[in-house]
Structure 1
Amino acid sequence: MTSLWPRVARWLTEPVPLGRVAAFRTLVYLFVAADLTIFSPWVRAHANTPAELYRPLLIGRLLPLPTPSAALVNGIFWSLLAVSLLAATGRAPRLLGWPVFLLYLEWMIVAMSYGKVDHDRFGLLVALAVLPTVGRARHGDARLSAAGGWALRVTQIAVICTYFLAALAKLRFGGPDWVTSSVLAQAIIRRGTAFADLIAGVPGLLILAQFGILAFELASPLVFVVPERWRTRVVAFFYSFHLFTFATITISFAPHLVAMASFLPCETLRPVHRLRQLRRGRTAEAPAPERTPDTVPTP
């Protein structure tokens, strides 16, 4: 047991380039701003929801948190939007990172305290909680950081727990019969696409898909033991699974997909640097303006 803990500690804090943390952090904070305005604008409607419909989650009952009002919801919205955009620049990572986490946590409590609880936010919330612990990280910085490795590893664990615990919930509440139930058929009836209708017409395919979903979720922790050179391909399969889900029943899992980028070498994606290089290249290729010869006035 004493020899196991150092190995676990080394795995949890496996150093990663600081540039990877910086890129992932920018992605996460930009998504928070996008989530407020594009992906989940419905949360803001709770500003006008009757107070008697508010049923706070456990954390909202333990703290306790105030009942959402127009002033509270709109105040969180505008504050979180401003702070998340500032945090995406990478400046003051702790001073800005902690408020983003606390504001988004309260935003999610407001969102999920009216009878609808989504499980695709868990990984993103964990990422917001651990990113401020890393401190300063610049894009393109190749220096290795154990603190950065811990932040990404904890986020990765949260992402995989989302899959694995979803499988346990299916078995807990649906039992073994879940795989032979009409869950996917009902989902296609409610929100299916034309592509889903084609699949539903194949006898037995939906049942086979439910077996595959449960097997995939139960086996998801194996991503941590596959060789490093194969891990990116496994994560790409995870993304393809969600692409197929969106193409059939229009469920995007966007926050989860952002958190799953913690598995990827995000430091190779430097859009600002690429744009600067492209601009410099165009400037260098542009021909110099021709100089007109000076005219000498005739005496």
Structure 2
Amino acid sequence: MRRLLDRLDRAFFAEAPAERLAIVRLLVGGFALVYLCVRAVHLQRVGHLPPEGFRPIGVISVLSAPLPLWAVRALIGAAIAAGAAFVAGFKFRVAGPLFGALLLWVLSYRNSWGMVFHTENLLVLHVIALGLAAAADAYSLDARAAGRTAAGPPSGSSAPAPHGRYGWPLRLLCAITVTSYFIAGVTKLRNSGLDWALSDILRNYVAYDNVRKIALGDTHSPLGGALVRYGFLFPPLALASLAMELGAPLALFSRRIAVVFCGAAWLFHLGVLLTMAILFPYPLLGIAFAGFFELEKMRDLRRPRRAGPA
């Protein structure tokens, strides 16, 4: 048992370069910042809604009444400002946790007015995890101010060496990602059992989703509406999605399995978009899976190869 715990400890705190964690910070933080900016107008509109529709969830449960409009706008503005500092790696020890807290608050507040956007959960958890890590020790204003860069500064001081403090946040991000998919798979089994993969449940869900959107005049998927005529297609698709979700934790133990999982999850979200017009931008852009890959090696692809000796 002790040996197993030691192996798990070494795996979770495996050394990783500061550049890898910093690139993930730029990708995740950049997406979160753009997401906030694009949805800023929509997020502040809840300040105009009747107070009767306020149903606080999560951290918002501390409130017994809605916030005034000026406070809603101020918090959104503060979240955007903290997000910019998060991406730039400026005063990250403060900006990192602050952005995670503000993002959680702003998005939870919006979700306290009716529809809950589950697509935001993974993003928020990733930002919080990165905000509590040493994710600005490279490719950041803090690193530049300290006289170092990811590639090593001209001043002679060296870039941070690979260390477990850069490895555990990446492993945590991966663990959060696979857990979110595993929970989805378990939920399917609890609600439907194996009928999810052996019956017309998925087919009926696709049909219902598109019919409802057509009735409401919302964007729907013509492809999904056409495919429901072919019932034999859906049990294999349902089984594949269930296998991907339940097998997700295996991605933590093998790089090859991780690549397969990331590809399968990406195809799953592509299928959801094509058949139900439901967009999950965070995983579809691949950012949700960034922690699984050695992203710092991309810079080597840009370097021209030196010709060998004649």
TM-score range with shorter-chain normalisation? 0.7 to 0.9
1:40, distance to aligned residue in structure 2 (A): 7.4
- Does residue 169 (structure 1) correspond to residue 197 (structure 2)? The answer is no
What's the TM-score once normalised by structure 1's chain length?
0.80
80-89 vs 157-166, greater mean Cα deviation? 80-89
Structure 1 residues 122 and 20: CA distance shift in structure 2, 3 A? same
2:242 maps to 1:220: no
Q: Determine the structure 2 residue equivalent to 1:126.
A: 125
Q: Is the 8 A contact 1:12 1:150 kept in 2?
A: yes
Are residues 1:187 and 2:209 paired? yes
2:290 to 236, 261, 266: 261
Matches within 5 A, 1:89-238: 89-135=88-134, 136-139=136-139, 140-141=150-151, 143-179=161-197, 180=199, 181=201, 182-189=204-211, 190=213, 192-226=220-254, 228-229=255-256, 231-238=258-265
Q: Is the 8 A contact 1:123 1:155 kept in 2?
A: no
Asked whether the equivalents of residues 123 and 156 of structure 1 are also in contact (C-alpha less than 8 Å), the reply is no
SS at match of 1:16: coil
SS at match of 2:231: coil
How far did 1:24 drift? 0.8
Deviation at 1:91, TM superposition (A): 2.4
Alignment deviations for residues 141-171 of structure 1 (CA, whole Å, 9 cap, x no partner): 5731211211111111111111111112222
What amino acid sits opposite 1:250 in the alignment? Answer: A
- Check if 1:71 corresponds to 2:70: yes
Q: Which digits, 9 at most, give the CA deviation of each residue in 1:244-295, with x for residues without a partner?
A: 222222222223453322112222456xxx7xx99xxxxxxxxxxxxxxxxx
Deviation (angstroms), 1:224: 1.9
Change (3 A) 1:26 1:177: same
Match of 2:275 among 243, 248, 251: 248
SS at match of 2:2: coil
1:195 deviates by 2.7
SS of equivalent to 2:171: helix
CA distance in 2, matches of 1:20, 1:66: 43
Cα distance, 1:198–1:269 mapped onto 2, change above 3 Å: farther
User: Contact between 1:51 and 1:68, CA under 8 Å: does it hold in 2?
Assistant: no
2:31 corresponds to: 31
Structure 1 residues 122 and 154: alpha-carbon distance in aligned structure 2, compared to 1, 3 A threshold: farther
Q: Residues 123 and 288 of structure 2 are in contact (CA less than 8 Å); yes or no, is this contact kept in structure 1?
A: yes
Kindly provide the amino acid, as one letter, of the partner of residue 266 in structure 2: Y
> Taking structure 1 as reference, are residues 241 and 41 closer, same or farther at Cα in structure 2, changes over 3 Å only?
farther
Q: Which residue is 2:146 aligned to?
A: none
Flag structure 1 segments of 5+ consecutive residues without an equivalent.
279-299
Instruction: Write the letter of the residue equivalent to 1:152.
Output: L
For 2:169 and 2:7, how far apart are their aligned partners in 1? 17
Q: State the TM-score, normalized to the length of structure 2.
A: 0.77
Rounded Cα–Cα distance in structure 2 between residues aligned with 1:212 and 1:51 = 43
For 2:180, give the aligned amino acid.
T
What's the Cα RMSD here? 2.7
Identity of aligned residues (%): 23
Distance 1:35 1:25 in 2: 15
Larger C-alpha radius of gyration, 1 or 2? 1
Matched, 1:2 2:2: yes
Does the 8 A contact of 1:127 with 1:152 survive in 2? Answer: no
Report how many aligned residue pairs link the two structures.
Answer: 272
Higher RCO (CA < 8 A, seq sep 6+)? 1
SS of 1:88's equivalent in the other structure is helix
Corresponding residue of 1:288 = none
Whichever residue aligns with residue 249 of structure 2, its letter is: P
Match of 1:52 in 2: 52
User: Deviations 1:187-223 (Å, cap 9, x if unpaired)?
Assistant: 2333542332342232321233223222221122221
